[in-house]
Chains A and B, each alone.
Chain A
Amino acid sequence: MKKLLIALLFTFVSTSAYAGGHSPCGVTDGSIKILANEFTTYRIFMDEVKSCAGPDADFSVTHSVDHNKLQVAALSANPAEFSAKLVTNGSITTLMNDNLIRPLDDLVAKYGSALQDNQKIVIDGKIYAVAFMANAQHLWYRESILNDLGIAVPSTYEEVIAAAEKIKASGKMANPYAGAFKSGWNLGQEFVNMYLGHGGDFFKAGTAEVSVNNAKGVAALNMLKRLTEVSNPDFLTQDTNAVKEEWESGNVALMHIWNSGAASLLDDEGDQAIKADTRLAPSPSVGGGSKPATTLWWDGFGIATNTSDENAEASFRALLGAATSTEMANANPNATIWLIDGYSPGDTAGPVVDAANRGATPYPSLPYMSLLHGALSTELVEFLQGNESAEKALADVEAAYVAKATEQGFL
């Protein structure tokens, strides 16, 4: 048994040795402490990081859906609570604003020969993060239900609502649509998608001055309202993971969630009849626009500024080993779209590629975007509950943003 393990380990180490560069795996010095979001794809990735770090490494990972709220406090401390953080194009700006992640050029030069160029997140000529996957929200549907009622796969949100109303009228499901509308980050993200789908701009070009209280903003909000009317009445408390549970319980026939959801929705656990009936579709467009109402995301890792060089190198090596592991990517082709060299995409990659081709915009990486996202998170609730007009809600968003951006020194 022990021999078998050693043999396996050996194969692993030898396959991940690179010509030219140093092998990143098998870390012995320094401690690796990672903060990451909580979803299945990240779990797969972290298993690979752990096995790359090796049995001798001092390794720990904290998975939390509140990672964005923890990151600034945790990485500001010196020494930082974590040596590395899994970041996205949304969360990296907050860390960049406060200089909490370090440039990685020297580490990439030493270990990163297997990295593809598009994995390097270069800001002002320096590499600040290494991306390993791409993600986007898109439509999911239950094929048998749409077929039974003779509904074509919706390609616009207007069709999504018509389809949901038809399913509701047929009596098959009481609340056929689901989206992550939980008040907080999720709700803000739904507005961001819908507003970009209507062709809106969040800020006056080149400034931190917000402008969402316009016809496009109102249209986006009204569309969200109509979607919540065909959703579970508890929509304000449902995040992505709760929506996935609704789906797996068979309560929902249409939903708009992350592509990486495939890792848990299409695995061997849960109701296999529902799994067999689950189909992925491109993200719908809205209001006659051509762009899909969604945003493109990359997920990667950054290394804390306030950690020792030794810990930084150890963390970088383990994470890089996973971020260049072709075996991991090809063993889990449907978990997400890996950006790793040699990966052949699975059959779930379509909707994200489609979104990119149809001109979906990446989530805005602006220093003050997180402040606006925060304002959207709290100020839209009353509108969705029917206690406030769309114009009033958007005026509140702008006012809340201005107060916060002034205190932060952006205005």
Chain B
Amino acid sequence: MPHRTFFWFFFPSGLAMLLFIGLPIISSFFQSLHIEPEQILMEVEKCDPFGCKTETKVDIEATTKLQEEQPLGRFNGLGTYGDRNHLAFDEIKEAWTNSSSIAEFTDILLNLPFYKALLFTLTFCFAVTPPVVVLGFIVALSVNTITKSLKGPTIFGVILPMIVTPLIGSLVLFWMIDAKGILGSFIQFLFDDPNLSLKSSSQLTWITLIIYGIWHNTPFAFVVFYAALQTVPQDPIEAAIIDGASRYERVRHIVIPHLYPVATFIILICLMDNFRVLEPIIGFAAEGVAQSLSWMIYNDLRSENKMLFGSAGATSMLTIIGVAILLTPVLIRTWREFRTER
């Protein structure tokens, strides 16, 4: 394609990306460098059904005036990035000098909100993505071999987990794994332990979330693999059959190499999606034991008080950097393949 044609072809979507993705990212970055202006407090008399007393209140006039002078808030540089709720440089330095062993240091590190969330996010990413790719491939292979009349309904059944809204899917499961729900009581029966609860321990909650993640993401891998399977050339397969290759050998030596680039694509998308995990945490009411980076942003913007734009902006930037680091190996690999193909 000539560069000129490509440019005009790409221009509309490029413009949309710049307007709706690029600019908000830049604005979040600027917001992350600022914190709220100082709150001016005053003592006033407050009366309610329980009586009158003198209490502190924000001096609205003075604070509004400050806000009008600095609409973005006070400039804080990279201060928000380094505070305890983000990268926590001071706390890490202190922990490093004060802790006697690596285990103690790790304990302190993983107790800081950002690193706690990062640990869960990465665990979720790397525990969900490989099974999704493998399962998606197996399901696609199986569906590909069944008779035509059954294919339609089977495909619908297989992609159902993706059709169900994540929040609804996780809520349904949340009720089923309740100690009195059908799955919860079955597990109690299985392990003969009436106090076993999937929701009470952090390990079991993590496992539940990961299984949910696999269940929810497999259809995506299936759809892509299934589409790619339709493009597998029939000639080499027929030749292999004549040569007496078993089904396993045909899959191993013809189908898998053909689907390899597709698998890279699926891994890329899955890692990116799972790095931003949020809905299952809300659906399973797992905020207490499993926090992700996206959940931190959500919490900053929807806590019980004023929205912490600076803090949310900083976490967003760190998430973007995280996604970039995570995808680098896959991208480098794709780039190399692209070069060799040429």
Chain B: interface residue total (CB-CB under 8 A): 53
Q: How far is the CB of A245 from chain B (nearest CB, A)?
A: 10
Across the two chains, which residue of chain A brings its CB closest to B45?
Answer: A124
Q: Is the CB of A403 within 8 A of B57?
A: no
B113 within 8 A of A: yes
Asked whether A170 is an interface residue with its Cβ less than 8 Å from the other chain, the reply is no
How many Å lie between the Cα of A69 and that of B307 in the bound state?
A: 9
B47 adjacent to chain A (CB < 8 Å): yes
Contacts of B55 in A (CB 8 A): 365-366
Q: Could you tell me if A236 and B199 are in contact, using CB atoms closer than 8 angstroms?
A: yes
Stretch at the interface among B137-145, B297-305, B322-330: B297-305
- Chain B residues in 8 Å Cβ range of A69: 302-304
What's the Cα separation between A72 and B304 when bound, in Å?
Answer: 8
Contact of A367 among B41, B201, B202, B285 (CB under 8 A): B41
Partner of B111, one of A89, A119, A131, A388: A388
How many chain A residues touch B (Cβ–Cβ < 8 Å)?
69
| Chain A residues within an 8 Å CB radius of B316 | none
Interface members, chain B 290-313 (any A CB < 8 Å): 291, 299, 301-308, 310-311
Give the contacts of B9-54 with A (CB-CB under 8 A): 35-39, 41, 44-50, 52
Q: What residues of B have a CB within 8 angstroms of the CB of A183 in the complex?
A: 285, 287-288
> Which of B79-87, B148-156, B212-220, B245-253 binds A?
B79-87
CB of B49 within 8 A of CB of A124, answer: no
Query: Is B165 at the interface (CB under 8 A from chain A)?
Result: no
Shortest distance between the CB of B183 and any CB in chain A (Å):
13
Per-position binary interface string of chain B over residues 166-205, scored 1 when its CB falls under 8 Å from any chain A CB and 0 otherwise: 0000000000001100000000000000110101111000
Pick the residue among A131, A373, A374, A392 that contacts B48 (CB under 8 A).
A131
Question: Could you tell me if A385 and B202 are in contact, using CB atoms closer than 8 angstroms?
Answer: yes
Collect the chain B residues with CB atoms within 8 Å of residue A356's CB.
Answer: 50
Asked whether any CB of chain A lies closer than 8 Å to the CB of B147, the reply is: no
Residues of A within 8 A of B306 (CB): 72, 94, 97-98, 408
Q: Are B50 and A206 in contact (CB under 8 A)?
A: no
Is A99 an interface residue, CB under 8 A from the partner? yes
A292 to chain B, nearest CB (A): 14
Q: Are A400 and B85 in contact (CB under 8 A)?
A: yes
CA distance A374 to B64 in the complex (A): 24
Q: Is A6 an interface residue (CB 8 A)?
A: no
Q: Does A331 belong to the interface (CB within 8 Å)? A: no
Check: A56 CB closer than 8 A to any chain B CB. Answer: no
A–B complex contacts, Cβ < 8 Å, 18 sampled: A66-B302, A72-B306, A94-B306, A96-B60, A98-B306, A122-B47, A124-B57, A174-B194, A174-B195, A234-B199, A236-B288, A237-B199, A365-B46, A377-B304, A378-B287, A400-B84, A402-B84, A407-B83
Chain A residues with a Cβ under 8 A of chain B: 66, 68-70, 72-73, 89, 91, 93-94, 96-99, 118-125, 131, 134, 174, 182-185, 187, 206, 208, 232-237, 296, 298, 339, 356, 362, 365-367, 370-371, 373-374, 377-378, 381-382, 385, 387-388, 392, 396, 399-400, 402-404, 406-410
Contact surface of B with A, Cβ cutoff 8 Å: 35-39, 41, 44-50, 52, 55-58, 60, 64, 74, 80, 83-85, 91, 111, 113, 178-179, 194-195, 197, 199-202, 285, 287-289, 291, 299, 301-308, 310-311
Q: A94-B305, A97-B306, A399-B84 are in contact. List 19 more A-B contacts (CB 8 A).
A: A69-B303, A91-B304, A94-B306, A99-B64, A123-B57, A125-B45, A134-B49, A174-B195, A339-B49, A365-B48, A367-B39, A370-B305, A378-B113, A381-B288, A381-B289, A403-B84, A404-B308, A404-B311, A407-B35
8 closest pairs, A vs B, by CB? A183-B288, A381-B288, A124-B44, A233-B197, A233-B200, A370-B305, A122-B47, A409-B36
